[in-house]
Amino acid sequence: MNISERIRRELYEQDDVNDLFTPSETLDNIQLNDYTIKIIGYVDLIVPTRRVGSYDIFKFVLNNNDGKLVSIVVWDENIERIQRHIEINRVIYLDGVKAQDGTSYPDNKGNVSYQLHVRDNTAICNLGIIRLPDNMPEYTELSDALMTNRRIVLKGYIKTNFAEYYNEVPSNDDNFGCGSITDGTYKLECHIQSFNDNDYKQLNLDKGDKIEIIGTMRRRNGLPYLSIDNIEDIRQLIGHMSITSLLGGVQNL
């Protein structure tokens, strides 16, 4: 389904594309099973089409430029017409998507509790590329990790050393490295997306070692985690935390 020429013209005539993005308050108030949802955001992440059971599935994440990341799910015959519009940093308007619970999906890449599913009558409009600030990661305290949707640099101590995690259910995620860090008070689960156990062992990292990591905050089953591209985004620092202090780092963000 196409956006009408009148609506398309109104969208393009906006002086500042940032004024078009769906407000966070609106996204926070979305109701499950609503078939009439409209959303405007820029493409923050693309998950390539995969075969899951007897279905093809394509996913991408829309960012409202105010900290909200919403996972968009496209199935089977709708993939081709939607996928050709999807490019990183491209602003997308979707009209008529359905909200479904996202907390039970291990591969929900958004940071809200639902996913938006494209339907046969969902309309899409491509509003061009947004110019974003330099994507250099910003140094952030562990306690403040949920306050930004940009790439961040965290310093912490390894609470649970990384090991390969095998998905328990079919999903769009390949297997990844899973571990956690702490600052002695807070703890944060971390996922290394491109993970090789032998390569990780070469880093010679152990529980309690101080590290610096670069990643982006995401959610899985409703819980926050830091998504790390690969082990090159992990750097060992001087310092070590005692087992007693590690045990004290149990507060969730």
User: What are 192-234's pLDDT values in tens digits?
Assistant: 988 888 889 899 999 999 999 999 888 776 688 998 988 889 9
Q: What span, in angstroms and rounded, lies between the C-alpha atoms of 91 and 125?
A: 9
Distance CA 57, CA 40 (A): 21
Domain end among 129, 156, 171: 129
Integer Cα distance of 65 and 45 in angstroms: 13
DSSP 3-state assignment of 107?
A: coil
Residue 244, sorted as left (phi over 0), alpha (psi -120 to 50) or beta, turns out to be alpha
CA distance 76 to 68: 26
**Domain that includes residue 115, residue range:** 5-129
The number of distinct structural domains making up the chain is: 2
* 126 touches 92 (CB < 8 A): yes
150 with 213, same domain: the answer is: yes
Contact 91, 17 (CB under 8 A): yes
In this predicted structure, what is the pLDDT of residue 172? 44
> 129, 161, 194 — which closes off a domain?
129
pLDDT in tens, 70-84: 999 999 999 999 999
Q: How does the average pLDDT of the chain come out, rounded?
A: 85
* Residue 143: CATH number of its domain: 2.40.50.140
pLDDT tens digits for range 117-167: 999 999 998 888 887 666 678 888 898 888 777 788 999 999 999 998 766
